[in-house]
Amino acid sequence: MSNGKTKKVVKTIKVDLDKCHGCRACEVACAAFHSTPKYSVVNPARSRIRVYRDELNNVFLPVRAGSHTKAECDGRQTYIINERDYGECNFCNASCPSRDLFKEPDSGLPLRCDMCESDPPLDEPMCVKWCIVDALIYEEREEEVEEQEKEEELEKGLEILADEYGLDKILDVVARMVESKKE
Q: Pick the closer one to ligand SF4 by CB: 110 or 125.
A: 125
| Residue number with CB closer to ligand SF4 (25 or 96) | 25
Q: What percentage of the chain's residues is helix, strand, coil (to nearest 5)?
A: 30, 25, 45
Contact footprint for ligand SF4 (CB under 6 A): 20-26, 29-30, 33, 48-49, 51, 60, 62, 64, 113-116, 125-127, 131, 133, 135-136
Cβ proximity to ligand SF4, 6 vs 11, nearer residue: 11
> For ligand SF4, which is the closer residue by CB, 22 or 169?
22
Minimum separation from the CB atom of position 99 to ligand SF4 (A): 18
Minimum Å gap between C-beta 106 and ligand SF4 is 18
Angle between helices 167-182 and 147-165 (to 10 degrees): 120
Nearest to 57 by CA among 29, 33, 86, 36: 86
Query: What is the distance between the terminal CA atoms of the chain, rounded to a whole angstrom?
Result: 35
Shortest reach from residue 96's CB to ligand SF4, in Å: 17
- The rounded distance, in Å, linking the Cα atoms of 70 and 97 is 7
For the CB of residue 19, give the shortest distance to ligand SF4 in the complex, in Å.
Answer: 6
Query: What is the C-alpha separation between 64 and 158, in angstroms, rounded?
Result: 20
Q: How far is the CB of 74 from ligand SF4 (least distance, A)?
A: 27
For residue 182, the number of C-alpha atoms closer than 13 Å in the C-beta half-sphere is 6
* Nearer to ligand SF4 (CB atom), residue 96 or residue 138: 138
